[in-house]
Amino acid sequence: MNINMKYWGDNMKILVQKFGGSSVSTDEQRKIVASKISGAVKEGYKVAVVVSAMGRMGAAYATDTLKGLVTDESIISKRDMDLLMACGEIISSVVMASELKLLGIEATCLTGGQAGIITDDCFNDARILQVNPAEIYKEFERNDVVLVAGFQGMTKDGKITTLGRGGSDTTAAALGVALNAERVDIYTDVDGVKTADPKIVNNAKTLDKITYNEICQLAHEGAKVIHPRAVEIAMQGNIPLRVLSTFGEGEGTIVANGVLKGENVTDIKNDRIITGITQKTNVSQLIIDNSAKDQEISNKIFKALAQAEISVDFISINETEIIFTVKYTDCEKAVAIINNLGLKVKTNPHCAKVAAVGAGMTGVPGVMSKIVEALTEKNIKILQSADSYTSIWCLVPQENMEEAVRTLHEKFNLG
């Protein structure tokens, strides 16, 4: 990502505040949001506020509702779908501006493109290539608050794109870096980054500090509280992030580098062995027999799936079997492709990927043994497992996913 650094704003104290869909869904909630923005203005900040579409599925202008207006998604181009989805955040920013006006705060609304967010043309999941914050600085000369529609950008030739589901976080992080903000505050419906999804684990603990590395792994493995690209961008720009509740007064979770330089001492904050437990749903496992021990078969399968743009994960090839996972929505298509190659496939269509994530687990013995022990005690089948230097993943039947998350959370004493 290329940031067009400025000469404007050198004396400005800038804060980025991002409010997720669940923070702006009702009139009452938007009043709370307005008071948070007003608080930052009173502290002397120029505030770039990033908003998501209002509410979740079912709410009139939520992203999923807008998508649902198109009866059959496959007959509309991805480019047109982006035009439709981008409306949700634009509506939200204007509604929020009116709420601020009631408090006597003037704010300008900008689309992602107007805010200088330039992306590639990978519609529905575009990457930010460049941020040119000139327009935001210009607006900051007039007003203290600029409202930017999250989750969207624009290609160099002016086509509207969206940044992938949950992408308003990415907008906020990119603006934070481009504006050299003091901090990016991600306001949401939970009080910070927790040791597991609180919708599954009641006693999940809020982490008060976390390194970029730790949160990056959690986000990649499914902790949807923040988008992984947002963390990567903030980390590259070394901009502090904070995840906190819109509806409480808590400090939330601070995400920053592991090294804190004090007056006489330097604290090195090491990554935890296990930071948290995460889950990803709607995964299907495919098992292909290769008792003929023909390596060419793997080659044919993965080429055919790549051509059909089906992404594969959790790949395990041994002499007699080829095993991998695909998204549940791609399962039927993947099976048909493999059958067309004259091969038989066994499937476990309803699976979930549960992970123990900890950037400090490298070289620590006994982590896998604890996982296997915990899941065995609960009779939860491990259909497949794999590990990296920061995570151990287990594929389990979808119906056992929540219990698996709770069991591992308890086994590692994270609550």
Q: Which residues bind ligand ADP (CB under 6 A)?
A: 20-23, 52, 166, 188-190, 193-194, 196-199, 218, 223-225, 276
Residue 21 lies near ligand ASP (rule: CB under 6 A): yes
CB 149 within 8 A of CB 89: yes
Terminal-residue alpha carbon distance, the chain = 38
CB 34 within 8 A of CB 199: no
Residue 167 lies near ligand ASP (rule: CB under 6 A): yes
Q: Which does 223 bind (CB under 5 to 8 A by kind): Mg ion, ligand ADP, ligand ASP, none?
A: ligand ADP
Residue 187 lies near ligand ASP (rule: CB under 6 A): no
Residue 334 identity (one-letter amino acid):
A
Contacts of 194 (CB under 8 A, 6+ apart): 201, 204, 205, 206, 207, 225, 276
Residue 88 lies near ligand ASP (rule: CB under 6 A): yes
Residue 165 lies near ligand ASP (rule: CB under 6 A): yes
- How does DSSP assign 42-93, residue by residue? HTT-EEEEEEPPSSSTTSTT-HHHHHHTSS-GGGS-HHHHHHHHHHHHHHHH
Residue 63 lies near ligand ASP (rule: CB under 6 A): yes
Nearer to ligand ADP, 27 or 72 (CB): 27
> Which of 1, 24, 37, 53 is the binder for ligand ASP (CB under 6 A)?
53
Residue 166 lies near ligand ASP (rule: CB under 6 A): yes
Q: Single out the segment in contact with ligand ASP by CB under 6 A; choices: 136-144, 161-169, 238-246, 340-348.
A: 161-169
Nearer to ligand ADP, 20 or 113 (CB): 20
Number of helices and strands (H, E) in the chain?
11, 21
Residue 168 lies near ligand ASP (rule: CB under 6 A): yes
Query: What are the beta bridge partners of residue 210?
Result: 255
Nearer to ligand ASP, 186 or 392 (CB): 186
How many angstroms separate the CA atoms of 112 and 61, rounded? 18
Angle at CA of residue 139, ends 134 and 143, nearest 5°:
150
**Number of CB atoms found within 10 A of residue 185's CB:** 25
Nearer to ligand ADP, 200 or 343 (CB): 200
Q: Which does 165 bind (CB under 5 to 8 A by kind): Mg ion, ligand ASP, ligand ADP, none?
A: ligand ASP
Contacts (CB under 6 A) with ligand ASP, residues 261-280: none
In the complex, minimum distance from the CB of residue 192 to ligand ADP, in angstroms, rounded to a whole number: 7
Instruction: Write the DSSP symbol of residue 167.
Output: T
Angle at CA of residue 312, ends 308 and 316, nearest 5°:
135
In the complex, minimum distance from the CB of residue 396 to ligand ADP, in angstroms, rounded to a whole number: 17
Q: Which does 88 bind (CB under 5 to 8 A by kind): ligand ASP, Mg ion, ligand ADP, none?
A: ligand ASP
In the complex, minimum distance from the CB of residue 228 to Mg ion, in angstroms, rounded to a whole number: 11
Angle at CA of residue 187, ends 184 and 190, nearest 5°:
135
Nearer to ligand ADP, 166 or 176 (CB): 166
Residue with tokens 């390596």: 295
Nearer to ligand ADP, 222 or 345 (CB): 222
Coil, strand or helix at 345: strand
Residue 166 lies near Mg ion (rule: CB under 5 A): yes
Residue 55 lies near ligand ASP (rule: CB under 6 A): no
CB 375 within 8 A of CB 384: no
Query: What are the beta bridge partners of residue 267?
Result: 260
Residue 192 lies near Mg ion (rule: CB under 5 A): no
Q: Single out the segment in contact with ligand ASP by CB under 6 A; choices: 166-174, 180-188, 208-216, 296-304.
A: 166-174
Closest C-alpha among 393, 369, 370, 373 to residue 383: 393
State phi, psi for 394 to the nearest 5 degrees: -130, 135
State the residues that interact with Mg ion by CB under 5 A: 20, 166
State the residues that interact with ligand ASP by CB under 6 A: 20-21, 52-53, 63, 88, 150-151, 165-169
